[in-house]
Amino acid sequence: QNQKTREQIENLLQNGEHKELRDRLCCRLTFGTAGLRSAMGAGFCYINDLTVIQSTQGIYKYLERNFSDFKQRGFVVGYDTRGQVTSNCSSKKLAKLTAAVLLAKDVLVYFFSTYVPTPFVPYAVQQLGAVAGVMITASHNRKEDNGYKVYWENGAQITSPHDKEIIKCIEECVEPWNGSWNENLVDTSPLRQDPLKKICDSYMEDLTKICYHRELNVQSSLKFVHTSFHGVGHDYVQLAFKAFGFQPPIPVPEQKDPDPDFSTVKCPNPEEGESVLELSLRLAEKEDAKVVVATDPDADRLAVAEQQENGCWKVFTGNELAALFGWWMFSCWKENCSQDADVRNVYMLATTVSSKILRAIALKEGFHFEETLPGFKWIGSRVKNLLDNGKEVLFAFEESIGFMCGTSVLDKDGVSAAVVIAEMATYLQSQSLTLAQKLVDIYEMYGYHISKTSYFLCYDPPTIKRIFERLRNFDDPQSYPKCCGVYNILHVRDITTGYDSSQLNKKSVLPVSKSSQMITFTFQNGCVATLRTSGTEPKIKYYAEMCALPGHSDRSVLEEELQKLIEALIENFLEPAKNGLTWRSA
């Protein structure tokens, strides 16, 4: 019933664009590391009114099977501020259609009356006792994209087998039901409730559980600049700073309000570093603010930059921020825990492609460290499991600037991370230290962890498959490479097939993930490098890290060795020229 997307298909048909039609209509959306995500537009593998209705009908069918009290407990729906005029598609409209499908089936729906950060949806699912929730967002993806992120009753993103079962249910009911197109139901149905005030108030109150130096915050002279990257973050970060006793951060005026075109940045991903933080860094210099915090468009991730003594800015990587957060959350726990608290009951987590710095801190301090598959959906589920077994989880992260401080939200959360980093910077200033100086202290104490992450773009799935299949049949059929240039390989782990040469039974401890490509190489020189496909974008990512023991740390030597190894990895394993790959900076 969407005139714009109908016209897109009709025009393709009239112009005889049969390949494009096949690409759009002959495959369905599947669940990646962050739910369903694709470009907005016409077709069954795109995000549009129809595919969102179909997805919600499938979810309704699956939840009805699994929960006898589904209709009474209800379902949470949130959305960001994305939109596309050419396909008459916006996050709010798609959220209204999501709600309509459920309201027409007499389900109680908690529909936020305005845009919210992604973490508000999993938080609301737990707070309201709902069976599940959906957030309409494509996070930091390009402006053409949108997505559909599903949370289970435990407040974590869905993992297998739920995702596969939901896909089956979607395929069983692709014809829209009566009422599914009625987006006005959110304004007229008595079963629709607006959870905004209750959830926002409760979230800000819960946030104070991880505020440890309120009196310092109130007196602090340190200034912060915040950019919300044309997304949802502004209002909520302002409230979070207030909850911690801070003066509000200075907003970047050009990026403060929602803009679906993200008109001041070439891509709305704060992870891209200084090039996309230009406006906030210049404002910080003008305002004499030493720290910049940047939330991505749906405010679930956080980038941080700090001005150094020489006037230059240091933009921290996700792994560097995790070292700071890990040190901070453990120090605060140690200072505030009860006398009989057992450090062996304490946990921190990271995804397997992230830095091993938390492992080093855990080994020295006596708490537990665990790894999961890439994607916060795995962290959220595991954290819930640990909490249910009486464990205490302080912090979890993924290297792509996703952080979970505390356990009020079982997903990454840029709002809480922003205010925790502000408190950390304030405390360090009282000790005459900067974030960058503290980071060096942490590495000196626990061992240097030098890592580098980047990616190549590849829009041809068969090429990606060929690259990874070559690695699985390198010198002979079914044999992995034994070296990469001059670097000898000690172990290989292939999450796609479940192989791990370091295990006695040659089977990976982490679960197999056949739907994505991921191979990890452990080198004789101590470097660990992973090649994997992105779950949300057409990318081949690489991650590499050199880990040194405390006291064995000549940083420049480690950095040089890592750089040479990465060059060998790219040249020998990815072969960008031969495979037509585009490097990230190009």
Sign of the C-alpha dihedral computed for residues 513, 519, 523 and 526 taken in this order: negative
CA distance 488 to 490: 6
Query: What is each CA distance from 200 to 157, 224, 459, in whole angstroms?
Result: 20, 22, 40
- 161 contact partners, CB below 8 Å, separation of at least 6: none
Question: Among residues 531, 457, 463, which one has the least CA distance to residue 493?
Answer: 531
- 365 contact partners, CB below 8 Å, separation of at least 6: 330, 343
87, 139, 381, 400: the catalytic one is 139
CA distance 407 to 552: 35
Question: Reduced to 3 states, what is the DSSP secondary structure of residue 530?
Answer: strand
Region of 179 (left: φ > 0; alpha: ψ -120 to 50; beta: rest) is left
DSSP letter (8 states) at residue 172: H
CA distance 77 to 194: 10
Long-range Cβ contacts of 3-10 (<8 Å, 24+ apart): 3/88, 4/86, 4/87, 4/88, 4/89, 5/41, 5/42, 5/48, 5/49, 5/50, 5/87, 5/88, 5/89, 6/42, 8/41, 8/42, 8/87, 9/42, 9/43
Sign of the C-alpha dihedral computed for residues 407, 408, 413 and 415 taken in this order: negative
Question: Reduced to 3 states, what is the DSSP secondary structure of residue 240?
Answer: helix
In the beta sheet, which residues pair with residue 531? 519, 542
Q: Provide the angle, in degrees to the nearest 10, between the axes of the packed helices 233-243 and 196-207.
A: 40
Strands (E), 446-515: 449-457, 483-484, 487-494, 499-500
CA distance 141 to 66: 33
Catalytic residue check, 408: no
Question: Reduced to 3 states, what is the DSSP secondary structure of residue 384?
Answer: helix
Residue 159 structure tokens = 């993992």
Asked if 303 contacts 236 with a C-beta cutoff of 8 angstroms, the reply is no
Backbone angles phi, psi at 159, to 5 degrees: -125, 180
CA distance 227 to 379: 27
CA distance 543 to 20: 34
CA distance 499 to 495: 7
Strand 449-457 to 392-398 pairing: unpaired
Residue 338 structure tokens = 């009860």
Region of 256 (left: φ > 0; alpha: ψ -120 to 50; beta: rest) is alpha
Question: Among residues 180, 192, 185, which one has the least CA distance to residue 53?
Answer: 180
Asked if 76 contacts 110 with a C-beta cutoff of 8 angstroms, the reply is yes
Type of residue found at 81: T
What residues act catalytically? 139
